[in-house]
Amino acid sequence: MDIEQARALVNNHLDELSPELRVINKALHDNPETGFNEFFAHDTLTSFLEKRGFQVKRKTYGLDTSFEATLGSGGRQVVVCAEYDALPDIGHACGHNLIATSSLATFLSAAHAMSTLHIPGRLRILGTPAEEGGGGKARLIDAGAFNPPDDVAAAIMAHPTASHQIGAAEDNFSGLAGLKLICSHKFQVEFHGATAHAGGEPWKGTNALDAAVAAYASVGMLRQQIRPDERIHGVIEVGGTVANVIPGYTRMNWNVRSATVARADKLLARVKACLEAGALASGCTVNYIFAPTYMDLRANKSLCKTYVEDMAKIGEKVMLDQTVPFNASTDMGNVSYLVPSFHGAFTIPTAPDAAAHNPKFATAAATDEAHVAAMNCAKGMAMLALRVLTDDSLASGAREDFNTPDS
């Protein structure tokens, strides 16, 4: 492959497509949908691909809002992951409209270069619903979307961020290649007791609210004894109805995070001890309802280095490494444990006090400047995909990095 010829094809094609992709970007932003309910996004993205001549599989892998389209046959395979779910009440405050746009742009521009230059290999775009807590990629993994794992040379995507979140502003970086995020266990816990009249016969009740309150207080004390990069979040979702009825049932929602899966498992055991102590003290029984665990995101050195080099060719200065993981989580971490993966970050202009999961970030994600940043990122990811498909040393290096990750 003539790299410079491929780069020109990618860049020119994206410059031509950008106005149409801006319309897609705005449509997704204006119609936010929560996880597993992204029907507008699913139909918008698949229709756009179909209009450009791609055969698209809708509602794939048992998920009504997943989709995929593939170009090529045989050879190595690169999977471009697209996210498009929003947050309840605050819409695209994590900028997944930009993720969908950059992933779509990556796929279209790389496919254009593959077709024009007759580049061998397979390029696939995979719609991945419900990143915001639903574990869509974990479900896709279970359903075989990446099978066999040895057949996937790389899975790639990127996430918008505010400059201060990754320490990029000081040195005028426009993004980060080696984004690192931590592991997260997500679960609900139910306490079952017995209802009774709180005034007339309280001795006949077993107070499930007492179990939840005692558990919450115990975890609060535990927080003083955890590492600085660990996090425990919890809320009481169901705490009773009226004051004169002893609650026989309560439910809490918890999130336990640590830097790696092994450390998160240890912290989870400590949290469960607090929850079970609350149940024991109140005389209640306890039940756990676990959601998919978000594994920590592993950065692949070979893929990151290549992306930084290609972004430099279009005048973008991108950080290679993130020394300390950011204390957030993604189900792309699960993918990074299965196949060589790239999950970069690109900065968008925001107010100084705006960051992801803030309404001001949703506003920033709708701007023309944010769209330009997504397009620039797509140019780098398209080149990364093409180079993985054509460069044996890069593909083998990425596989070696995957097999021997940093401890």
pLDDT given at position 352: 86
- Nearest CA among 385, 382, 374 for reference residue 24: 374
Distance spanning both ends of the chain, measured CA to CA = 35
pLDDT given at position 283: 98
DSSP string across 67-80: EEEEE--SS-EEEE
pLDDT digits (tens, 9 = 90+) for 116-169: 999 999 999 999 999 998 999 999 999 999 999 999 999 999 999 998 888 766
The DSSP 8-state label assigned to residue 240 in this structure reads -
pLDDT given at position 170: 64
Asked if 152 and 79 count as a contact pair (C-beta separation under 8 A), the reply is yes
pLDDT given at position 169: 62
The DSSP 8-state label assigned to residue 295 in this structure reads P
pTM of the model: 0.94
Instruction: Mark the ranges of the chain whose per-residue pLDDT is less than 70.
Output: 168-170, 407
pLDDT digits (tens, 9 = 90+) for 294-316: 999 999 999 999 999 999 999 99
Q: Which helix or strand (DSSP H or E) is residue 86 part of?
A: none
Beta strands in 166-213 (DSSP E): 175-178, 183-192, 196-197
